[in-house]
Chains A and B, each alone.
Chain A
Amino acid sequence: MKSLIAQSHSLSDPKIQLDVINNHNEKIRSLEKFGDKMDNIGLFPLKPTGVEIFQMNVGYMCNMTCKHCHVDAGPDRKEIMTKETFEQCLVALNHPSIHTIDLTGGAPEMNPHFRWFIDEVSKLGKHIIVRSNLTILDTKKFEDLPQFMADRGVEITCSLPFYSKRRTDAQRGDGTYDKSMKILKVLNEIGYGKEESGLLLNLVYNPVGAFLPPDQESLKQDYKDRLWEDHGIVFNDLYTITNLPISRYLNFLVMSDNLEEYMEKLVTSFNPSAAIGVMCRNTISIGWDGALYDCDFNQMLNLRTNHGALDHINDWNIKQLNNREIILNQHCYGCTAGAGSSCGGATV
């Protein structure tokens, strides 16, 4: 499957995506604006609580083309972070308030500077999270990476949209489930997911369709039971993440005639407690080209940090960023629905 951009699909254009989630039809146009909703509960303009998590999207290249991917990642994407930008990031992230470096993509492992950068960040004593699709670790070129990451204490947060083969393969492609089980066993063998090892292995659940995630704790227990009983696999935590109406997932919603109901569901499920804890308040997202965003979703919609805040790593100034106003739009309802959603799962 090609990426939307390689297909010259209209929904590869962030402006068109924003238009669709705001104006697709009369009903969608009539939905309360997210900014107004936040204003009603005293959270507008939305301000950061301080940058603690430095999330870097190191490139959109991926060995997979999952149906729900908000990045529109795939083998045909060539955008990739250069060493020069990594070096700028190394300077920027060396601040006491930033405790976690979160590497995402695409498949972040495919960036040629990945190993060098992890070594450099390790020297600074920062916690590192790598968001892995698992299947990339089942290739000759990357098969030594699990041990490399274990030796440096890297936390692995990996995609597994359901504990069943049927649903996982439906979203991520045939054969993904079996490869994922194989790699999870490899990770377990070197200590990942085992309480005593200190090597954190977390799984990410995404709904495979137009519905919201289940309760995180209850689903975590289901995953624990099923993966242990069926495969002898253990892991630490499960994060439930709501799909935001962006890129390929937005295309799915439009094509399956689910967009209106899904947007309504997100709006009616708005939870003020979740709104208080949205991840953009303590995270900054850095694009492959060094551009700055409030989150990885805003990055895909090309909504750079704004309202007078600097918007490129060249001009990094953490004090100024801590005073910025976060850019909001209708997709933000995805992070405030129900129990909330973030890169670390539910927020309530």
Chain B
Amino acid sequence: MDKTYYNPEDLKKFGDIGEFQKELGDKFFDYYGTVFADSALSAKEKAIIALAVSHAVQCPYCIDAYTQESLEKGFSEEQMMEAVHVAAAIRGGASLVHGVQMMNKINKLSM
């Protein structure tokens, strides 16, 4: 076993997950490929969404892959950072909106 949980080299091995369960692996990668193809949203738009989601789920493999992909789709540094801010705003907002629950509870408990 590696002494760290994350190894950049492991990203290249993602396709190998089918070794232990081929059918599900194949289905996942077929699905994955279809999701990122040009469709109602362009492949370019999907790349910047994936970059934002990568930050929301804090996946270092995904950040590595979709930073490169976003550069190769022609996004600027400013656009990419704005996408990360969208993720941050949603994550921050998700915490903060629960403040309403806290307020509800306070109001229920208080005289």
Contacts and interface: CB of A to CB of B under 8 A. Distances in A.
Interface of A: 162-164, 166-167, 207, 209, 211-215, 218-219, 222
A219 B74 contact: yes
Contacts of B77: 164, 166-167
16 contacts: A163-B76, A164-B76, A164-B78, A166-B76, A167-B76, A167-B77, A207-B71, A213-B72, A214-B44, A214-B72, A214-B74, A215-B44, A215-B74, A218-B44, A218-B74, A219-B74
Contacts of A213: 72
Best-surrounded residue of B44, B74, B78 (most CB of chain A within 10 A): B74
Chain B, interface size category, equals under 10
A84 B74 CA distance: 44
Nearest to A269: B72
Contact of A212 (B44, B72, B76, B78): B72
Given A167-B76, A167-B77, A215-B44, 4 more contacts: A166-B76, A166-B77, A209-B71, A211-B68
Contacts of A218: 44, 73-74
- Binding site secondary structure of chain A: loop
Contacts of B76: 162-164, 166-167
A26 B73 CA distance: 31
Nearest to A265: B68
A211 B75 CA distance: 12
B105 to A, nearest CB: 48
A222 B74 contact: yes
Interface string B57-86: 000000000001001111011100000000
Interface string B35-73: 000000000100000000000000000000000100111
Contacts of A214: 44, 72-74
A166 B74 CA distance: 14
A262 to B, nearest CB: 11
Nearest to A240: B74
Contacts of B73: 214-215, 218
Contacts of A215: 44, 73-74
A164 B81 CA distance: 15
A268 B98 CA distance: 47
A162 B44 CA distance: 17
Nearest to A163: B76
A259 to B, nearest CB: 15
A212 B73 CA distance: 9
A211 B73 CA distance: 10
A333 to B, nearest CB: 16
B30 to A, nearest CB: 19
A164 B74 CA distance: 11
